[in-house]
Amino acid sequence: MKLSVRVREHVHDVVVTRQNGHYIVEIDGRPHVVDSHKLENNFYTLVTDERSYEVSVERDGEAYKVRRGAAQLDVTISDPSRQAREKLAISGPEKIVSQMPGKVVRVLVTEGDEVEAGAGLLVIEAMKMENEITTQRGGKVTKIAVTPGQTVEGGALLLVVE
Q: Pick from 87, 135, 86: which is nearest to 108 by CA?
A: 135
Q: Is 49 left (phi over 0), alpha (psi -120 to 50) or beta?
A: left
Alpha-carbon span 94 to 32, nearest angstrom: 35
- Give the model's confidence band at 121: pLDDT under 50 very low, under 70 low, under 90 confident, else very high: very high
For residue 86, give the DSSP letter.
H
Q: Are strands 114-115 and 102-107 parallel, antiparallel or unpaired?
A: unpaired
Residue 99: which region, alpha, beta or left (left: phi > 0; alpha: psi -120 to 50)? alpha
pLDDT at 60: 85
The domains found in the chain, sorted by start residue, are: 2-78 (3.30.700.30), 88-161 (2.40.50.100)
DSSP 51-84: EEEEEEEEEETTEEEEEETTEEEEEEEE-HHHHH
Asked whether the whole model's pTM tops 0.75, one would answer no
The top-scoring range by mean pLDDT among 2-6, 67-71, 90-94, 130-134 is 67-71
